[in-house]
């Protein structure tokens, strides 16, 4: 069967793009083309923005309770299609089915939180600010928002934003990752089922050209971006230049610090899942293990043993621990970093480059890889590899571990493994990273908390999810009243 050509969803209708330019979407386990994604034209961008703009007034006048009811309906649709959604994620991204189920669950949780909009969007007031004068602060929707999202959580990341935006009364445009656009298509089939008024939610496929056109369009009020740091920096500046609000969540290089008093039997499985889960393609993935003092030798031995036991294969196989990486390009980049690490003088303890997966000769597989003798100046310690490669750095004490963390331009996440409350508090107090784990390998905030980030991992002030999202998607209007 010929692969499906993906459509755009504009003003409540599925539309074929007029663009002649298409990209192949491949199953990373087999390299088979599963869909073709159009790189939509700037005319199509203008139309999608116009549809969202025209839908805004009617939607903003729809009561918050009615808007919330659509969230309940979307949740129900997603629960019904839970396993299908998870399978689509595996097919386009490669992650293992259990991780895909986790992604669907967190996606639904964001819809559930947004269903609380009648209480989340309330303002506040104060009587008698002066004699006979009262003051109110009301939260109002802003207009048209869009998101531009990465390949690694193709279903969930748009849902860090879209449910909050529309529950607050805005209209919305999703620009999915062109590498993994299929799960958004399935999500929009569900959105189509719940019969939102046309134009409230829209989707346009494409790449940089579509993103630039969205930001240059005066009818777009704001952007939520998640992706790499260079693109995040560029889009944050571009959004500001065009007078739009923006929140740009970006790249990462996260440290997992292991203190000499850590419980290694429980810390090592958490570290494994942090570094090698989703084949290292998570912005919260641990990349550097910072071993403090004499924990180094036993830790190194346990990490290599645990990583050697991970099975690599097709994510649909329930016995597999790690799937392929997303594209041939990613595979080449990760292999390049392994070669670079060898050149830089790090010691390769476990080499994933020769992994063979029976019956999957064309998949983009790479096995768990571990370097030791990594120093903070090396490229493999500084740069985001975004693959299943662990670097172990040895330091003498807690302060040196913090120096390693703070030597990085990134500030997305950091974890500490310890049994000491003192070190845990110092870590929380001093570390400049947005999402911290204490004896937790992946510090992923639940839907009602902001998905944080600092330094070169975040550009903006309000994050995705939770209360931050409500603030981002509203304006505060102050009304001062006196009656004669």
Minimum CB separation of residue 289 from ligand NAD in Å reads: 18
Please count the residues of the chain.
484
Strand partners, 371: 348, 391
Tell me whether residue 141 or residue 453 sits nearer to ligand NAD (CB atom).
453
Question: Exactly one of 44, 99, 178, 314 binds ligand NAD (CB under 6 A); which one?
Answer: 178
Question: Exactly one of 231, 255, 268, 405 binds ligand NAD (CB under 6 A); which one?
Answer: 231
Selected range binding ligand NAD among 20-28, 34-42, 76-84, 222-230, rule: CB under 6 A:
222-230
Question: Exactly one of 48, 55, 97, 250 binds ligand NAD (CB under 6 A); which one?
Answer: 250
Minimum CB separation of residue 404 from ligand NAD in Å reads: 19
Query: Is 59 an interacting residue with respect to ligand NAD (CB under 6 A)?
Result: no
Question: Exactly one of 177, 183, 247, 474 binds ligand NAD (CB under 6 A); which one?
Answer: 177
Phi/psi of residue 335, nearest 5 degrees: -60, -40
* Secondary structure (DSSP) of 333-385: HHHHHHHHHHHHT-EEEE--TT---TT-TTS-----EEEES--TTSHHHHS--
Question: Exactly one of 51, 55, 120, 211 binds ligand NAD (CB under 6 A); which one?
Answer: 211
Q: Which two tokens stand for residue 187?
A: 């999500």
Strand partners, 394: 291
Burial 440-468 (b: 16+ CB within 10 A, else e): bbbbbbebeebbbbebbbbbbebbbbbeb
Residues 396-425, one symbol each (x = binds ligand NAD by CB under 6 A, - = not), give: ----------------x-------------
Residues 262-291, one symbol each (x = binds ligand NAD by CB under 6 A, - = not), give: ---------------------x--------
Residue 464 and residue 160 in contact, taking contact as beta carbons nearer than 8 Å:
yes
Residues 325 and 276: their CA atoms lie apart, in Å, by 11
User: Quick check: is 137 catalytic?
Assistant: no
Q: Give the closest residue to 219 by CA, choosing from 269, 285, 275, 145.
A: 145
| Residue closest to ligand NAD when measured from CB atoms | 227
Instruction: List CB contacts of 273: < 8 A, sequence separation 6 or more.
Output: 441, 442
Selected range binding ligand NAD among 30-38, 46-54, 221-229, 442-450, rule: CB under 6 A:
221-229
Selected range binding ligand NAD among 80-88, 99-107, 170-178, 315-323, rule: CB under 6 A:
170-178
Query: Is 227 an interacting residue with respect to ligand NAD (CB under 6 A)?
Result: yes
Centre a 10 Å sphere on the Cβ of residue 430 and count the other Cβ atoms it contains. 12
Tell me whether residue 120 or residue 156 sits nearer to ligand NAD (CB atom).
156
Residues 453-482, one symbol each (x = binds ligand NAD by CB under 6 A, - = not), give: x---x-------------------------
Minimum CB separation of residue 429 from ligand NAD in Å reads: 22
Tell me whether residue 148 or residue 395 sits nearer to ligand NAD (CB atom).
148
Phi/psi of residue 244, nearest 5 degrees: -110, 150
Selected range binding ligand NAD among 31-39, 224-232, 239-247, 357-365, rule: CB under 6 A:
224-232
Minimum CB separation of residue 177 from ligand NAD in Å reads: 5
Residues 327 and 21: their CA atoms lie apart, in Å, by 19
For the segment 314-353, give every residue that binds ligand NAD (CB under 6 A).
none
Q: Give the closest residue to 67 by CA, choosing from 141, 190, 166.
A: 166
Instruction: List CB contacts of 165: < 8 A, sequence separation 6 or more.
Output: 145, 172, 469, 473
Residues 357 and 362: their CA atoms lie apart, in Å, by 9
Question: Exactly one of 71, 148, 392, 470 binds ligand NAD (CB under 6 A); which one?
Answer: 148
> How many CA atoms, within 13 angstroms, populate the side-chain half-sphere of residue 121?
30
Residue 136 and residue 478 in contact, taking contact as beta carbons nearer than 8 Å:
yes
Residues 47 and 40: their CA atoms lie apart, in Å, by 11
Minimum CB separation of residue 462 from ligand NAD in Å reads: 13
Pick the catalytic residue from 146, 168, 180, 283: 283
Residues 147 and 185: their CA atoms lie apart, in Å, by 15
- Which residues are at the interface with ligand NAD (CB under 6 A)? 148-153, 175, 177-178, 207-208, 211, 226-228, 231, 235, 249-252, 283, 384, 386, 412, 451, 453, 457
Active site residues: 283
């Amino acid at each position: 069967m010929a692969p499906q050509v993906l459509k755009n969803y504009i003003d409540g209708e599925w539309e074929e793009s007029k663009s002649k330019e298409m990209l192949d979407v491949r199953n990373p386990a087999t390299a088979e083309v599963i869909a073709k994604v159009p790189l939509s034209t700037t005319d199509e961008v203008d139309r999608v923005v116009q549809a969202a703009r025209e839908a805004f007034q009617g939607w903003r006048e729809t009561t918050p309770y009615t808007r919330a009811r659509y969230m309940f309906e979307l949740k129900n649709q997603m629960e019904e299609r839970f396993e299908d959604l998870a399978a689509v994620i595996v097919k386009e991204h490669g992650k293992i089915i259990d991780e895909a189920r986790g992604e669907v669950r967190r996606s639904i949780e964001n819809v559930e939180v947004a269903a609380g909009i009648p209480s989340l969007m309330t303002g506040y007031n104060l009587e008698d600010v002066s004699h006979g004068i009262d003051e109110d602060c009301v939260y109002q929707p802003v207009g048209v928002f869009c998101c531009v999202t990465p390949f690694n959580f193709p279903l969930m990341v748009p849902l860090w934003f879209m449910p909050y935006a529309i529950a607050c009364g805005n209209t919305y445009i999703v620009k999915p990752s062109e590498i993994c656009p299929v799960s958004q298509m399935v999500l929009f089939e569900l959105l189509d089922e719940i019969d939102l008024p046309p134009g409230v939610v829209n989707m346009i496929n494409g790449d940089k050209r579509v993103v630039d056109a969205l930001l240059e369009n005066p009818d777009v009020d704001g952007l939520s971006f998640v992706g790499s740091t260079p693109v995040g920096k560029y889009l944050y500046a571009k959004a500001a230049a065009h007078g739009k609000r923006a929140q740009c969540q970006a790249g990462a290089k996260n440290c997992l610090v292991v203190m000499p008093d850590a419980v290694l039997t429980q810390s090592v499985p958490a570290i494994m899942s942090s570094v090698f889960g989703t084949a290292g393609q998570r912005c919260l993935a641990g990349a550097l293990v910072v071993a403090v003092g004499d924990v180094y030798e036993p830790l190194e031995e346990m990490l290599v043993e645990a990583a050697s036991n991970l099975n690599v294969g097709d994510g649909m196989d329930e016995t597999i621990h790690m799937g392929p990486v997303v594209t041939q390009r990613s595979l080449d980049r990760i292999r390049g970093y392994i070669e670079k690490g060898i050149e830089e003088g790090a010691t390769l303890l476990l080499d994933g480059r020769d992994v063979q997966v029976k019956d999957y000769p064309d998949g983009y597989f790479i096995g768990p890889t571990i370097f030791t003798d990594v120093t903070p100046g090396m490229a493999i310690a500084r740069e985001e590899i975004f693959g299943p490669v662990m670097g172990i750095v040895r330091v003498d004490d807690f302060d040196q571990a913090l120096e390693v963390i703070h030597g990085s331009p990134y500030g997305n996440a950091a974890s500490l493994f310890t049994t000491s409350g003192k070190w845990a508090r110092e870590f929380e107090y001093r570390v400049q990273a947005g999402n911290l784990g204490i004896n937790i390998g992946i510090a992923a905030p639940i839907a009602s908390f902001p998905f944080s980030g600092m330094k070169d991992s975040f550009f903006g002030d309000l994050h995705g999810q939770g209360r931050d999202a409500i603030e981002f998607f509203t304006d505060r209007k102050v009304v001062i009243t006196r009656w004669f």
